[in-house]
Structure 1
Amino acid sequence: MAEIKAAGRARVRAAKEALAVEEAAHQKAAALWASAFDFVYDSSVAGSTARGSDFMNIDGRAVLVLVPGFSSWRSLTQAHVERWRAAAVLEARPTERRPSSLVFKWPCGEVRWKAEDAQVEAAAAWQEAHEATFAAARSLTLLLKKLEALGCSVVVVAHSLGARVALQALANDLAAPRIRSLLLLGGAVDNHALTGKSGPSNEINGFAFAEPGSAPAEFPFHRLLGKCASLTIAHSARDSTLASLWPAAEYARCGRLAPPALGLSGPTMEEMERQPAEGMERVVLLNVTEEVGVAHDPTEYLLSGGVQAALHAALYPDSRPAQ
């Protein structure tokens, strides 16, 4: 009996120690995000901000809102922060106020990638994060409405699974306000999510029935462009995460054979050509394969030349490109 009690106490101690390690990791991650961005908006605690500040003082400014991707909250490192600072994306211009930056924290999943059962843990976390995108999108809409009320010009940058959150808010939530620009970086959504997928159809009594190979647009271009003055889609054809883990995660989540991710291939040109011409001049497709390579790191996407130019154009529409 004494041995059983001792074993029980040991398990309790181990659980407490593991909990303490997790809490310390969360605090470290929160501090890093707060050092990289002006504000951290926690979707589970509406209105929360980094450093206890109130973002009411950003009224009238341009605001960059980052929606991070799957299992990203604890993946930020000091090296990422230093590279972001060195890029000086948000430096003030002589005739314009410095834009503010805000990271949108949402339940994006947590994975202990060094654990023995990391792949099983990742599959479960992916499913939970995928389901959480709907509630997160609603929270993002509420944040965008607050920023609109403050007279801010908003630029949303969404990476990986964060692209689903941003697309769900802007394309499918009628309450979402119009923003200045949306940038999708390495988007973890189907490559036909914005265009739909065409297929042969049978016509019976004047009604056309699509074959199984077709699919409607989940986030239609025409609705998305109604909420964004400009849209930039960046992809890397060698992104190893989207090439291998994306199809595996989608198969584990719902047993489907997923098409290539938008962030791996970009939208299919055949389907792009089927889209109504109106507004498509505001869509920019960026192939950043040479700069990003096999990485899925949002920093690599953010600091690629094409994305930097798109960010500059969105944040400083009246300025010449930085030299």
Structure 2
Amino acid sequence: MPSAARAEPPSTLRCATGSGHDGSSPRRHRPLAARNAESLMIIISSRKDFSNPDQLSETGHLIREVDLANDTVTAVLDFKDLLHLVKGKRLLLLVHGYNNEQYEVFDSYQVIEQQAMVHLANAYDMVLGYSWPGGDQKLDWWQAKKRANAVARMFRFLLDNLSGNAGAVDVMSHSLGARVTLKALKGSPGRIVRNYFCTAPAVDNECFESDEEFADAIPSCERVYIFHSSRDEVLRFAYASSEQDLALGLYGPEDKTYIEVATRTVFVANCKKVVSNHGGYKRAGAVYAYIQASFAGGLQRFVTL
């Protein structure tokens, strides 16, 4: 992978007005194990003007350091700054789903980072957030899906560059964020992600089977982990109504035998006992415990948490 970024429209690193930051660089992001109540996160956005939920940015990724406790921008970075920050670090990159205003994205990411500090403190040096225009209306599914497909090239660009500079890149997606991630991975010529943690995936339950939409995404990861729950009413009703099909995040892969025999790097966790709703994964301790256990290896291919 390249060690330097390809052309990305630059911005000038600067301090947000009134942040109290010296403006020369973003605050130093310490490893998770050394952090306490900090709420700073680097957010990489493909939304127009950084926060527009319905339109893609026309000038490349917009990168900000955000205080998730009060949703304020504390520094503005360019792509070179980002790659300098992540050099040699173990990263967890978060990708949200459908129908989220920017403040809702920040709230969710703050919860996940807090959980990571408790359960995964020794696994990662930084948690990064990705923001894409997933819409802010419940009846905007088809437009949001279209934008999820459209943002894939930008997201692949990001993954390519992160993987060429960081020590390791893991991705955790939720809901329609699976389409953003898998579409990007599908187009990658090589392995760019170590672990992909795919929670409540709002994609077809056959998508990893031979000749299906995302079968070609699997080789782009060392390991893929699918988390599903039959108690997810959003996928049970809203997804099924829109797609006239079953989501991967409801009952898991349709052909479990195929997944177990033909795909050696895909693992499936049934979360029905620990996740009772669509957004429940981010607060489920059992999910983070499973992720922690995955680093030691030896997991069964199909488990119930």
Tell me if 1:249 matches 2:242: yes
Tell me if 1:260 matches 2:246: yes
Asked if 1 retains the 8 angstrom alpha-carbon contact of 2:43 and 2:128, the reply is yes
Listed as ranges, the matches of 1:17-32 within 5 Å are none
TM-score of the two chains, using structure 1 as the length reference: 0.64
Distance, in Å, in 2 between the alignment partners of 1:228 and 1:161 is 19
Instruction: Name 2:100's counterpart in structure 1.
Output: 72
Tell me if 1:63 matches 2:125: no
C-alpha RMSD over aligned residues: 2.7
User: Structure 1 residues 187-196 or 48-57, which shifts more?
Assistant: 48-57
- Where 1:85 maps in the other structure, the secondary structure is helix
Distance, in Å, in 2 between the alignment partners of 1:86 and 1:273 is 33
Distance, in Å, in 2 between the alignment partners of 1:72 and 1:176 is 31
Listed as ranges, the matches of 1:84-233 within 5 Å are 84-85=113-114, 88-89=117-118, 92-93=121-122, 98-111=124-137, 122-123=138-139, 125-170=140-185, 172-175=186-189, 177-195=191-209, 216-220=211-215, 223-233=216-226
Distance 1:144 1:132, change over 3 A: same
2:278 corresponds, among 276, 296, 317, to: 296
- How far is the alpha carbon of 1:58 from its aligned partner? 1.6
The number of residues matched between the two structures is: 234
Instruction: Name 2:14's counterpart in structure 1.
Output: none
Distance, in Å, in 1 between the alignment partners of 2:100 and 2:241 is 18
Larger radius of gyration: 1
- Where 2:268 maps in the other structure, the secondary structure is strand
Structure number having the greater strand percentage? 2
Distance, in Å, in 2 between the alignment partners of 1:68 and 1:79 is 8
In structure 1, give the amino acid aligned to 2:282.
Answer: L
- Where 1:108 maps in the other structure, the secondary structure is coil
Distance, in Å, in 2 between the alignment partners of 1:52 and 1:68 is 21
- How far is the alpha carbon of 1:310 from its aligned partner? 4.2
Cα distance per residue 1:285-323 (max 9 Å; x no partner)? 111111111x111xx213334431343356x669xxxxx
Distance, in Å, in 2 between the alignment partners of 1:266 and 1:156 is 19
Structure number having the greater helix percentage? 1
Distance 1:91 1:156, change over 3 A: closer
Distance, in Å, in 2 between the alignment partners of 1:237 and 1:276 is 20
Asked if 2 retains the 8 angstrom alpha-carbon contact of 1:169 and 1:176, the reply is no
Distance 1:76 1:173, change over 3 A: closer
2:287 corresponds, among 307, 310, 314, to: 307
Name structure 1 gaps, 5 residues minimum. 1-34, 112-121, 197-215, 251-257, 319-323
Asked if 2 retains the 8 angstrom alpha-carbon contact of 1:237 and 1:289, the reply is yes
Cα distance per residue 1:199-246 (max 9 Å; x no partner)? xxxxxxxxxxxxxxxxx41111xx333111111000010101111111
Asked if 1 retains the 8 angstrom alpha-carbon contact of 2:188 and 2:220, the reply is no
Asked if 2 retains the 8 angstrom alpha-carbon contact of 1:68 and 1:159, the reply is yes
- Where 1:65 maps in the other structure, the secondary structure is strand
Asked if 1 retains the 8 angstrom alpha-carbon contact of 2:88 and 2:165, the reply is yes
Distance, in Å, in 1 between the alignment partners of 2:220 and 2:189 is 10
Distance, in Å, in 2 between the alignment partners of 1:86 and 1:157 is 13
Asked if 2 retains the 8 angstrom alpha-carbon contact of 1:160 and 1:186, the reply is yes
Distance, in Å, in 1 between the alignment partners of 2:224 and 2:112 is 25
TM-score of the two chains, using structure 2 as the length reference: 0.68
Distance 1:87 1:226, change over 3 A: closer
Distance, in Å, in 2 between the alignment partners of 1:273 and 1:108 is 33
